[in-house]
Amino acid sequence: MKLVILDRDGTINHDSDHYIKSVDEFRPIKGALEAIARLTQAGYRVVVATNQSGIARGLFTTRTLFEIHDALQRAAVQAGGRIDAFFFCPHAADAACQCRKPQPGMLVEVARRFNVAVEDTYMVGDAQRDVQAAAAAGARPVLVLTGKGRKTHAEGNLPESTQVFPDLAAFAEHLAP
């Protein structure tokens, strides 16, 4: 099985320093839904793995998060794609949990549940914590330059094997020409 793990905010949808707190605030990045469709149609399983500390901060509820993910799933299906699962860390940054990226726990759990070797899995994100989690888990780190990606790239210190693409659409085209 071929598996791609995607960060959500800044990779699939426009990010906000004030968090995405409702379905109305969720706005896909141009080409992202089509990229998910391209990956799906090329035989990849697509999973979203996202830190959502806004839950711990009381900015939105788990129910609201599920509503946002339902809307994302419907949009992906409309574009011809599918998201096979959503994994999220609801904890605050200071919680010291193993599921919050840059810790590898969430990615290891995705690989375990899908019964795939984590080293054969891509982790695509726009932040240092995404590529660090990929490297820590032994997955293939991919940085997109959307969201915080340009700033992350300019700061450097990326794991050595990190691939860089302008956006999710360019990554999907590379993986599934």
Catalytic residues: 7, 9
The encoded tokens of residue 42 equal 């090329």
Q: How many CB atoms lie within 10 A of CB 138?
A: 15
CB 149 within 8 A of CB 126: yes
Rounding to the nearest 10 degrees, give the CA dihedral for residues 72, 20, 31, 146.
-150
Contacts of 17 (CB under 8 A, 6+ apart): none
Between CA 101 and CA 108, with CA 159 as vertex, the angle to 5 degrees is 40
d(CA 125, CA 6): 6
